[in-house]
Amino acid sequence: MENRSEKVDTSTSNISAVVGIGHTDWVEDYKRVRNGEKPYDSYGYATLAFNRALQDAGISRDEVDGLIVGPTTAYERMGEILNIDPRWGGQADAVQSVFQAVLAIKSGMAEVVALVYGNDQRSAAVQYGGPEAMGGGSFLSYVYHSPWGLTSQGALYALMFQRYKELCGVTDRDLGQVAVGQRQWANLNPNALMQNKSLTIDEYLASNYIAAPLRMNDYCLINDGGVALIIMSAERAKRCKQQPVYINGLGRSDLNHHATSLGPRLIDFYRPAQLNAAEQVYAAAGVGPKDINALLVYDSFSPHIFFVLEGFGYCGQGAAAEFIAEKGIGVGGGLPINTHGGHLSESYMQGWSHQIEAVRQLRGGLGARQVANCRHVQYVSDVAGKAMSIIYGV
């Protein structure tokens, strides 16, 4: 593979910083929704998170001149509800919203950007699987494969991981290390839905398959909630209430060829895109895997962790199970992964909660959950063939 590190544009590194974070009360709202209540809609959750992020940053809404909203709300309506009139903005998922905020600040299109997400997916009974998943049609790639019974992302990742198991000699017990490790972190997190709900490897193996080889604990949670971040220019961030958490590097590589026929998933497990994105983000940040103190991975399903560890250079190809067993990814492990519990055990906020966990770890003060001497946190998302990564630092 061509070495592209020397071609990486590092001009977006360390020009932006996160100065404010906020989120809703995932645990209490989950309880209320299960009792038949509906505390907020998607806009309400987003608004509450936005107000908390402003308070955390110590700034007023009048200072916000950029707005990016998650794909579950409309940009124009969100700005109206938040009572702001940004000069720049749009709609994006969690990782792309950070990329866009950095690029907007770099280009001078905005100086203070609010990233706002709200989702009432649980109370609205959103379907992520089945023939009517999110409206059916061609909205999501897995609907293309419904004639063969692959009507959910879980089914696709089950197929993907089954092939990986056969090639690499991995067992169900190996995969269970991910859910068990992340549950350990969730038990230390007061914001986690699965706090105080222990999970052993034997309990994991005794649980039912949903789409073999994936069991119930390999699937993300589904809950309502909201998340918000305030990102601004690094120079301006120095004058803010909170210690700035800088965006050290960005990396992205997409695989679109044969995407809807599952080629990038099943043939190479997205690895070519991951390797390219890894070269970019490490060159931009001036660090490598050995410098990362905590790794946060978009984990709609537990196999994501295996593919990211190999694709981003933490271990060799086919060696993720051995790496996890020897290194450890849970509490006390050598490479803390998803220290909030991730989508599997904290909250399913579609990658947004991972961004605020990065900020919290770098700010410090998390007690038993705090990663010691935390200086660099990497986030990775490889959803639908878009391998993207951010390195945060202080």
Q: Which of 276, 295, 221, 250 is nearest to 96 (CA)?
A: 250
Distance between CA 201 and CA 223 in Å, rounded?
Answer: 25
Percent of the chain with pLDDT over 70: 93
∠ CA 115-309-337, rounded to 5°: 55
Beta bridge partners, 227, equal 23, 117
Q: Mean pLDDT, the chain, as a whole number?
A: 93
Report the relative pairing of strands 386-393 and 225-233 from DSSP bridges: unpaired
> Model confidence over 370-388: pLDDT tens digits?
999 999 999 999 987 889 9
Per-residue pLDDT, 262: 80
At 218, list the tokens.
């390999």
> Model confidence over 23-68: pLDDT tens digits?
999 999 999 999 999 999 999 999 999 999 999 999 999 999 999 9
> Model confidence over 279-331: pLDDT tens digits?
999 999 999 999 999 999 999 999 999 999 999 999 999 999 999 999 999 99
CATH classification number, 16-125+223-237, choose in 3.30.1370.60, 3.40.47.10, 3.10.20.30, 1.10.357.10: 3.40.47.10
| Sheet arrangement for strand 245-254 | 88-91, 66-69, 112-119, 225-233, 16-23, 245-254, 386-393, 376-381, 294-297
Q: Where are the alpha helices (DSSP H) in the chain?
A: 26-34, 42-57, 75-82, 94-107, 153-168, 172-186, 201-206, 234-237, 263-266, 271-285, 303-311, 320-327, 342-345, 352-363
Contacts of 237 (CB under 8 A, 6+ apart): 16, 17, 19, 244
Cis status, amide bond into 289, omega within 30 of 0 = no
